[in-house]
Amino acid sequence: MNYSDIAWIILAFLFGGALKGTIGVGAPVVVVPILTIFFDIQTAVTTMVIPNLVTNLWQTYQYRQFIKSIRFVIKFALSGAIGAAIGTTLLISLSPAPLLLGLSSVIFMFVFFRIQKPNSIMSETVTRLLVIPCGLIGGVLQGSAGVSAPVSVTFLNLMKLKRNNFIPIISIYFVSMSLIQIPLLSSTGALTPAYVLYSGSAVPIIFLGMIIGHITSRYISENAFEKIVIWILFLMAIKLTHRALTGQ
């Protein structure tokens, strides 16, 4: 790996952190696809596990007073944890090509839903019915592809939550999945001490990105920032699909 590759990886962590600092989520959506260009998908997903845990624990603490329904959060988080266990098993057992195609499909879905942005608000009845299925499916995607946003974030967006209410829910959701992923990956030998070191070294970079995101959010509209991310993700998805189909 040359200095140019290292620079791109650092920028990926910074940009992912900036997105998280701006809208509360998004670091894995940016970082995992870019890491997958340089490494296999298992390495990309494993590298994000510890940063996910640390950054989301921090945001959970920051926004804890804005949690409205503890029961809803528990259902969402526990179903996500179960899904993450299933997804992590798939990550370890499947060959790279299906995982790459799965990840690119997840990104295409995320881009589609972000562009569509339905204006309708889910009723409380529908929300109660979907919280466990959406939490479970999002967890499977997080465990197997490192990105749950197409399901988890879209589900919460349809509830039209305010930012202060949205951030603690999604943060607790990610914490619950990380707490499942870490021991599972460790028990299989996927999360080695070397990976723990690499993963831990990414934490301050993401935190720096979060600070940058918080500052730049005052000058760049969230809508403009999101459009940039969507285009980058779209290009990443095309690249990953090509790699999965050609092996290059």
- pLDDT attached to residue 13: 94
Residue percentage of the chain with pLDDT more than 70: 95
Structure confidence at residue 203 (pLDDT): 95
What average pLDDT is seen over the chain? 86
Domain boundaries, the chain: 3-246
Please tell me the distance from the alpha carbon of residue 151 to that of residue 17, in angstroms, as a whole number. 20
| The pLDDT of residue 163 | 79
Q: State the burial class of residue 108 (Cβ atoms within 10 Å of its Cβ: 0-12, 13-18, 19+).
A: middle
Confidence of residue 200 (pLDDT cuts 50, 70, 90): very high
209 vs 192: CA distance, rounded Å: 26
| Exposed e or buried b per residue across 21-49, where buried means at least 16 C-beta atoms within 10 angstroms of its C-beta | bbbbbbbbbbbbbbbbeeeebbebbbbbb
Question: Which pLDDT does position 132 carry in this prediction?
Answer: 96
Cβ 29 vs Cβ 233: under 8 Å: yes
Neighbours of 117 (CB within 10 A): 10
Q: Is the pLDDT of residue 97 over 90?
A: no
Specify whether the CB–CB gap between 202 and 14 falls below 8 A. Answer: no
pLDDT of residue 117: 64
Using only the alpha carbons of the chain, give its radius of gyration: 17
CA separation for the pair 153, 244 (Å, rounded): 26
> Average pLDDT of 231-240?
79
